[in-house]
Amino acid sequence: MSVGPGAFPRRPLGGTSLAVPEICFGGGPLSSMPTAFGYEVPEERAVATVRAVLDSGAAFLDTAAGYGDDGRGERVVGAALAERGGLPPGAVLATKVDRDPVTGDFSAAQVRRSFEGSLERLGLSRVQLLYLHDPEHIPFERAVAPGGPVDELVRIHEEGLAAHIGVAGGPVDLMGRYVATGAFEVLLTHNRWTLIDRSADALIDAARAAGLAVVNAAPFGGGILAKGPDAHGRYAYREADDVILGRVREIEAACARHDVPLAAAAIQFSTKDPRIASTVIGVTRPERVEETLRLARLPVPDELWPVVEGLAAPPSHWQH
């Protein structure tokens, strides 16, 4: 049974006005991107999953303009919000501005177009948290130049259309440069602070030192750290190499010896880190929402952590 929006523990999102559950539900898989996630998600099931998030004890949703064809990820969120007359009290929604999927344009004008499209699809007049998404697709110097996409994101914030702004992306060195600009309030890193990959450790430290909140996405690495290597042989949206597969098997075996589901250890590796405000987990079925919250609460013996924390892949196999 659902426990309501305020029931799951909340943490301050850095210096923002938001307090968020330690679990955030990611909308990437709901957008039905089989090339990234390996499966299709019917639209009605996607909308039903968003309903389940809104009814849960952790009503924090993360989506993006670029999730799915023609903004499908935001459209399914918008459909569920429309049923409620908008974002319910206590719920938190984050979305992201993206480059043009056809031309690759990531100019200031594209940031504005992307954001306006998000508002239309979500059925909202403003958002609580807006990220610059995957800025690795534009040279850093162009992104931060006067009148560029970062300036436009700041302008959207100053206009009151986005209460808070952040940057969401992958490569840790590049993300560190964005953190250092001082333009952002929140950093979202993905696939780089997991049981297997610790690439983002120094980045997370730098973000916290600079006053940014940190949101950690994809603790399952796309699924392998939830389902195990035999059921899902991909890490971070690509085929996992033999070293990663071997390490995941060792982690899985260690968890089994302590009667802990692999997925619970993967989630709690992130949620137990005091530097991380919230952990983003993708779900594609309504029943997975409460299951995820149960795994996040499941007792994990203290003695398991030194074992699994010592089984990360060697740095040469990390995403960086």
Beta bridge partners of 23: 279
Beta bridge partners of 281: 25
pTM of structure: 0.95
The answer to whether 131 and 167 are in contact (CB under 8 A) is yes
- Predicted confidence (pLDDT) at residue 1 exceeds the cutoff of 70: no
> In this predicted structure, what is the pLDDT of residue 40?
82
Neighbours of 70 (CB within 10 A): 11
Mean pLDDT rounded to a whole number for the chain: 95
- pLDDT tens digits along 24-75: 999 998 987 666 666 688 999 999 999 999 999 999 999 999 999 999 999 9
> In this predicted structure, what is the pLDDT of residue 35?
65
- Local confidence band at 237 (pLDDT 50, 70, 90 cut-offs): confident
- Nearest Cα to Cα of residue 133 among 64, 217, 211, 216: 64
All domains in the chain, ordered by first residue = 19-317 (3.20.20.100)
Beta-carbon contacts of 199 under 8 Å, excluding residues fewer than 6 positions away, are 172, 192, 193, 315, 318, 319, 320
> In this predicted structure, what is the pLDDT of residue 33?
67
Ranges assigned E (strand) in the chain: 10-12, 19-21, 23-26, 60-62, 92-97, 127-133, 162-169, 186-190, 213-217, 234-235, 238-239, 278-282
CA 54 to chain centre: 17
- pLDDT tens digits along 130-155: 999 999 999 999 999 999 999 999 99
Helix (H, G, I), strand (E, B) or coil at 99: coil
Two tokens, residue 141: 């110097």
- Local confidence band at 271 (pLDDT 50, 70, 90 cut-offs): very high
The answer to whether 271 and 265 are in contact (CB under 8 A) is no
Q: Strands 238-239 and 234-235: what pairing?
A: antiparallel
Q: Strands 23-26 and 60-62: what pairing?
A: parallel
Helix (H, G, I), strand (E, B) or coil at 84: helix
Compute the distance between CA of residue 162 and CA of residue 150 in angstroms, rounded to an integer: 14
Please give the single-letter amino acid code of residue 77: V
